[in-house]
Amino acid sequence: MKKLILSALALASVYAAQAQSNTLSLSQQGDGNNAPVNQFGSGNTLSLSQAGNSNGILYGPAVQAGMGNTGTISASGNNNQVYFGQYGNTNNGTVSITGDDNVAKNLIDDGGSQGNTNIAQTGINNNADIFLSTGLNNQVFMSQTGQSNHSYSSIYNGNVNQFNLVQTGDYNQGTARISNGSSNQTSFTQIGDYNNALSSQAYGHVNQITLSQTGEANMAYFWQQNGDNNTSMVTQEGNGNRVRGIGDYLDIGHAYQNGNDNSLVSAQTGYANDLRLLQSGNNNTVQATQTGRNLQVNSYQGGNSNTVIVSQEGEGIHYDSGVSTFQFGSFNAINATQNGSDNALRGLEGAATQYGNSNVLTLTQTGDSNLLRFGQTGNNNTATVTQSPN
């Protein structure tokens, strides 16, 4: 086993090739330091620490290529930048940055399996980008604490990968994109004001999106296309929260699921919360729970054996609140419960509508001045409506 320990005040460039079980420890103190580092082989350990201003790994990323490697990078100060790449299986990478205007970019686990990547940023205007390509069973954990945090994660051609983001502070933005993979999981937790979460999954099956937001005016955007058995779960607490789509489906920004056996489970608590969803395929499900005032659910389903289940608890505003829905196909079901006054069940334009055969509507409205506008076209359809005062 070889060990290399360096202490530097300027530029350090280290290259270790074709060796086994190497250990590299590098410490830099001062301003404007840079440390491009390369390790090739298996069982290597990298420890890099930078303290000062405008430090970074700028002239090329720190790279570990092989199996069972461990890399730890720590930067403290202002305007720090870290580029870190790992290639291979069972690698572990950890990046910790404390200060202002910090950047962690191009963290790559390319073509590897069973890898772990951890990023923690504390400060203002933190940015982090992660790219996973053609990998299996990799895990990414990202934590950002401060203001104006931004994160971006991309998984391409990978299966059974996990991405977890926790943002605490103001103006948080998180983006996660998964393409051509199955059984992947994306999890967002945002605590603070003006949170935005965007997640897209394309051409994969059994993928899962979990979004949890606490604050005011939270926005959750998601899109799942060309896949089956995908699931999205959204929880929002606060006022003025929205669930929307990417690409403005139906020109009104519906969140989108395309495929069979897909589901959305949404829970919103607060004032003026809104959910808009478009589903295309069979055996898809929308389950929405809203508690507060001036609540809206807007759903469109095309296909067979689809289900919409909505529970709303609160007062509406002049029939602008409530459920707007459209279903096209057979054996579809709408089950809506509204408890409060001035709520409505209606269509995207005019009356709520079911086109097809053997469709079912079940509506229960409790309160005063509630409204129902509904139509069914087809054979063997059933509608059960109960309206009662408080």
**Tell me, what's the pLDDT at 223?**
84
**Local structure of 70: helix, strand or coil:** strand
pLDDT in tens, the chain (390 residues): 333 333 443 444 445 544 456 777 777 777 777 767 788 888 888 887 878 777 666 545 678 888 888 888 888 877 777 778 888 888 888 888 887 777 876 566 556 677 788 888 888 888 888 887 777 888 888 999 988 889 988 888 888 888 899 999 888 899 998 888 889 899 999 998 888 999 888 888 898 999 999 988 889 988 887 889 999 999 999 888 889 876 543 344 678 888 999 999 999 998 888 998 899 999 999 999 999 988 899 899 999 999 999 999 988 876 667 898 999 999 999 999 999 988 888 876 777 889 999 999 999 999 998 888 889 999 999 999 999 987
> Which residue, 188, 192, 193, 116, is CA-closest to 152?
188
Apex 10 CA angle, 4 and 13, nearest 5: 45
Task: Tell me which residue has tokens 């509904």.
Answer: 374
Could you give the CA distance from residue 295 to residue 267 in angstroms, rounded to a whole number?
12
**Tell me, what's the pLDDT at 386?**
93
Could you give the CA distance from residue 340 to residue 15 in angstroms, rounded to a whole number?
69
